[in-house]
Structure 1
Amino acid sequence: MPRTALYSRSRHSPGRKLAEPAADAASSTDAGTVAGADDAGMQAHPSNAAAIAGSVVISQRQMRMLWAAFLLLAALLVASAWQRQQAPARKITQEDIDAAVLRTLESTVPPSAAARAVETIAPSVVRVVGYNRSKNGKDEVERGVGTGVVIVDKGIILTNLHVVSGADRIAITFHDGLETTASVTGAQPENDLAVLRAHKVPDDLQAAALRSTQNLRPGDHVVAVGFPFGIGPSASAGVVSGLQREFTSPEGKRQISNLIQFDAAANPGNSGGPLVTLDGEVVGIVTAILNPTPARTFIGIGFAVPIENAASAVGMSPF
């Protein structure tokens, strides 16, 4: 049996060098064939390169369209916001005002007319107390409590003469709590009126507004403000029940005429206080109550000196 030929791993002998170029040539031919085939493939299918390039161009065009749409949307939003800012506010109609007033009235309970009158006059009402020295000359004894009303903001006060007559010292307490003393600077006995001047006054003291009684009529609403039995300031409401009335004191020592008769409750301590309209304007100074018994309490009829007479006691005519 013939033996299989063995090939040496050593370098070829010179005799075999002639065969290697052929192999090399074959190799180069194969490589050229492969390269040529690749080139030929590319040349044979030119649409492949065009398709790739075309896909890139379409993507860029779509991006440009998207950006254009985004910018258009942004511009529309800005224009819409600007138009809302420039749009004029809706004009308020009378129906809107009426509806707002109605809602306020339904949700808020307004104060009564009498309460508003008291609120107006209260800063001008003062408590008046007269004191006498005791028999030993060291202590003071309270002789009576009354009311006064400020008619000039410098501390000029109207009250009843019987409240301060014979007092050794007169003490005044203002609406804000300031306490001071006062002196009698004028009197009108025929109308039971006295004029006081406070020795100190609050910085924001308010004088009462005065109103003529010329148009006052029976049935008009009035409010009496004062310190009945020293309690107060207290308020009572009623109406004018008569005009040009006369009153004689229980002792029969003094008769006063041309008085306003009213039915708002008044008691000892109300003397000298203001009788005011529902506007809070003073039309009279409370001076007496009618009670035929020794009780000295209110039974339905009170009297006030018209403010015209009271103003003349100060030497002023406000009307």
Structure 2
Amino acid sequence: MDARRTPNSVSEPSALMLGRFGRAKLRLASLYASHPLALTALTAIISTAFMLAVYHAALTQSATTNLTQEDIDAAVEQTLTETVLPSPAVRAYETILPSVVRIESFVTDPKTKEETQFGVGTGVVIVNDGTILTNLHVVQGAERVQITFMDGHKTAGVFQGARPEHDLAVLRAKVVPDDLFAATMASTANLKPGDHVFAVGFPFGIGPSISAGVVSGLKREFKSPEGGHSLTNLIQFDAAANPGNSGGPLVTAGGEVVGIVTAILNPNEDQRTFVGIGFAVPIENAASAVGLAPF
């Protein structure tokens, strides 16, 4: 017998699909009736996530399509222009400063019995137990030595030894601050004329002060105008140094000590002013004065 279709009749697959769709519809309707707020929120979340995904894809495609090397170079240049980096002098000063000390030498007047200051110099802490390097001429003949640390703490300096051939003296602080930092030393083996160096100390008692310059020469010899012994194997530099800088550190841009400032050369009658020629004892010689291993 032929099957006849009526206008409302459907094929078996279509009926199956409609049946599934109808059942899904009924489930959603039932879910909405039971939890209307939850279903509304879920729908909103799904819609928002979809829109965000589309927006992110559009941005990614735009950035990938439009970003050029010129854009990257311009962004880098702008960042470098707007970023202010500290100067080498600032880095050197801030690094070495906690290890720099002011040294004052005193004697007692035999007539008045009053104590008077006869010298001001600089020293540098090279061991955190309070071991300090300075110039011998800063403390030679002193009856009392006073050390002032960067935190303002004052204590007596105890003489430990000397290397007259290098104009070096070793002091030990009687009382050591808890947070004392020893300076970092660097070999002079790779030091060359033209390298930037900085002298830190108390010129004419003013300071701490920093001056900038370069290494002018190596293996120099200096003989004091007073006819003292000659100092050899010195670092010549042109960073300003004056009385009071004696015994202070000569440092690199990284704040590492490469020498101990010891003398200035001035051909004029007034030997106490700087004219561009200073000398420092290489730190290798200075370190050996306290028994530290050479670099």
Same fold by TM-score greater than 0.5: yes
1:237 counterpart = 2:212: yes
Q: Which residue of 2 aligns with 1:125?
A: 100
Q: Tell me the amino acid that sits aligned with residue 290 of structure 2.
A: V
Contact 1:210/1:318 (CA < 8 Å) preserved in 2?
Answer: no
**Any idea what the Cα deviations from partners look like across 1:114-170, whole Å, max 9, x if unmatched?**
110111000000000100011246321101100000000010000000000000000
- Cα 1:98–1:133, aligned 2, differ >3 Å: closer, same or farther? farther
The Cα shift of 1:186 comes to 1.1
Q: Tell me the amino acid that sits aligned with residue 316 of structure 1.
A: L
- Cα 1:288–1:106, aligned 2, differ >3 Å: closer, same or farther? same
Q: Which residue of 1 aligns with 2:132?
A: 157
Q: Which residue of 1 aligns with 2:153?
A: 178
Contact 2:32/2:39 (CA < 8 Å) preserved in 1?
Answer: no
Between the aligned partners of 1:272 and 1:77, the Cα distance in structure 2 is 76
Between the aligned partners of 1:84 and 1:205, the Cα distance in structure 2 is 60
Aligned residues: 253
Q: What are the ranges of 5 or more consecutive residues in structure 1 without an aligned counterpart?
A: 1-63
Q: Tell me the amino acid that sits aligned with residue 273 of structure 2.
A: T
- Cα 1:97–1:165, aligned 2, differ >3 Å: closer, same or farther? farther
Contact 2:288/2:294 (CA < 8 Å) preserved in 1?
Answer: no
Between the aligned partners of 2:119 and 2:135, the Cα distance in structure 1 is 12
Q: Which residue of 2 aligns with 1:257?
A: 232
RMSD across aligned C-alpha pairs, in angstroms? 3.2
Q: Which residue of 2 aligns with 1:73?
A: 40
Which protein has the larger Cα radius of gyration, Structure 1 or Structure 2? Answer: 1
Q: Tell me the amino acid that sits aligned with residue 143 of structure 2.
A: D
Q: What are the ranges of 5 or more consecutive residues in structure 2 without an aligned counterpart?
A: 1-30, 58-69
Q: Which residue of 2 aligns with 1:304?
A: 280
1:227 counterpart = 2:176: no
Q: How does 1:25-64 map to 2 (within 5 A)?
A: none
Contact 2:251/2:257 (CA < 8 Å) preserved in 1?
Answer: yes
Instruction: Provide the identity percentage.
Output: 65
Between the aligned partners of 1:194 and 1:289, the Cα distance in structure 2 is 18
**Any idea what the Cα deviations from partners look like across 1:60-88, whole Å, max 9, x if unmatched?**
xxxx99999876433212335678999xx
TM-score by length of 2: 0.77
- Cα 1:96–1:266, aligned 2, differ >3 Å: closer, same or farther? same
**Any idea what the Cα deviations from partners look like across 1:283-306, whole Å, max 9, x if unmatched?**
000000001223121001000000
Between the aligned partners of 2:277 and 2:218, the Cα distance in structure 1 is 12
TM-score by length of 1: 0.72
Between the aligned partners of 1:136 and 1:167, the Cα distance in structure 2 is 17
- Cα 1:164–1:108, aligned 2, differ >3 Å: closer, same or farther? same
1:142 counterpart = 2:109: no
Q: How does 1:99-118 map to 2 (within 5 A)?
A: 104-118=79-93
